[in-house]
Amino acid sequence: MPLKLLLLSTSVGPLSSGLGGGVELTLYNLAQELWQRGHEFKVVAPENSKLGTFPVIEIPGELQTTAQTQADTAPIIMPENSVLANMWDYARQVQREYDLIFNIAYDWLPFYLTPFFDRPIAHFISMGAMTRAMDEIMERVAVQFPGTIAVYTQTQAHTFPFGDRCRCVGSGIDLSLYQFCAQPEPCLAWLGRIAPEKALEDAVAAAQITGMKLKIMGKIQDESYWQQILADYPKAPIEYLGFLTTAQMQQELRQCRALLMTPRWIEAFGNVAIEALACGVPVISYRRGGPAEIVEDGKTGFLVEPDSVTGLVEAIKDLDEIDRSICRTQAETEYSLKAWGDRMERWFEDILSAIAI
């Protein structure tokens, strides 16, 4: 039966700015899948947000500081005129028009407010453990409202003390947006927010050693970090293509011999990995976090020793061993949007049936 859902976005940037990273794609895909299934929903997000053709209720206010820049013992920061507080005040006012509220912000407030709402809140956690204050407030919800917390992967779940209370829903992409390419150019790709936790410098170092051009795509989130890479590797064969739309990005990605993933942190999932596989592009990634659960080592790419540039270089040399059509097949069997949409719909229905009893 059709549900009425209120979807609350990440608070660190307007949707489609790229500051929300993989969460922007996850939220867009969720809207698509809910729409396909005939559910009613509204999206609440910071002003200037865009989510394809879906209407967004735009909320003014100051953006939240990103969690991954916070120290482990950092206190919770709430700016003056916080957009997060304004988003959740709006949700409080309209909650009775909905069956279920969905939260994808990795922030303290939505979890703290959960018991104050008289509608259930489904929390999707988009990253691994970051700070003690966040772990504590999320654990409180995991214990008090069983089944209402979902994550991408087991690896991500087990970065939290309440890991066994998380529902793993994986991810999925609209495969029709990605075209298989059998004959690549002699170049590599790197995709993602350009910020220290993504360790772009390792991919640039590998490009310099192999001499193979590295196409870099994504939002420059940390300008000084980006400038430092350019200063440290003035001769590296790199080309920065900017933050592109999915259509533009996959047009570049599909022509590459491999996608390099160099997460310094525990990548919760790594949507870019399944985008590459969907184009037939093998993934070379550090054996860390989500990508370690996605890449079939030696079959759809290579998993290398974390933080080892040498490991990346060795894997690049072995790329001819990979059959690119097997990469596309893995995306089709494991990461279709429909399969993921079914998992999300079942999660919502399980939350509602648990409280209906």
Residue 106 is a binding residue for ligand HBI (CB under 6 A):
yes
Please report how close the Cβ of residue 284 comes to ligand HBI at its closest, in angstroms. Answer: 21
| One residue of 7, 8, 10, 243 binding ligand HBI per CB under 6 A | 10
**Burial letters for 273-297: b for 16+ Cβ neighbours within 10 Å, e otherwise?**
bbbbbbbbbbbbbbebbbbbbbbbe
| One residue of 7, 91, 102, 107 binding ligand HBI per CB under 6 A | 107
Q: What value, to the nearest 5°, has the Cα angle with vertex 297 and ends 292 and 298?
A: 160
Closer residue to ligand HBI (CB): 171 or 300: 171
Closer residue to ligand HBI (CB): 149 or 315: 149
Closer residue to ligand HBI (CB): 218 or 341: 218
Residue 21 is a binding residue for ligand HBI (CB under 6 A):
yes
- Answer whether 201's CB lies under 8 Å from 224's CB: no
Closer residue to ligand HBI (CB): 223 or 320: 223
**Secondary structure E strands in the chain:** 4-8, 40-46, 56-59, 100-103, 121-124, 149-151, 167-168, 187-191, 213-217, 238-242, 258-261, 283-286, 301-304
| One residue of 49, 126, 156, 285 binding ligand HBI per CB under 6 A | 126
Q: In terms of DSSP H, where are the helices of 199-323?
A: 200-210, 223-232, 246-253, 271-278, 290-294, 309-317
Closer residue to ligand HBI (CB): 20 or 311: 20
Q: Which of positions 256-275 make contact with ligand HBI (CB under 6 A)? A: none
Closer residue to ligand HBI (CB): 63 or 209: 63
Helix (H, G, I), strand (E, B), or coil: what is residue 107? coil
Residue 12 is a binding residue for ligand HBI (CB under 6 A):
yes
- Answer whether 16's CB lies under 8 Å from 24's CB: yes
Task: With CB under 6 A as the rule, give the number of residues binding ligand HBI.
Answer: 16
Please give the Cα distance from 21 to 32 (Å, whole number).
18
Residue 151 is a binding residue for ligand HBI (CB under 6 A):
no
- Measured between alpha carbons, how far apart are the two ends of the chain, in Å? 17
Please report how close the Cβ of residue 243 comes to ligand HBI at its closest, in angstroms. Answer: 13
Over the window 41 to 80, marking each residue x when it contacts ligand HBI by CB under 6 A and - when it does not, the resulting string is -----------------------x-xxx------------
SS3 content of the chain, % helix, strand, coil (to 5): 45, 20, 40
User: Using CB under 6 A, which of the segments 19-27, 51-59, 169-177, 326-334 binds ligand HBI?
Assistant: 19-27
Residue 148 is a binding residue for ligand HBI (CB under 6 A):
no
Please give the Cα distance from 286 to 291 (Å, whole number).
8
Tokens 């570049």 correspond to what residue? 252
The binding site for ligand HBI (CB under 6 A) comprises 10-12, 20-23, 64, 66-68, 105-107, 126-127
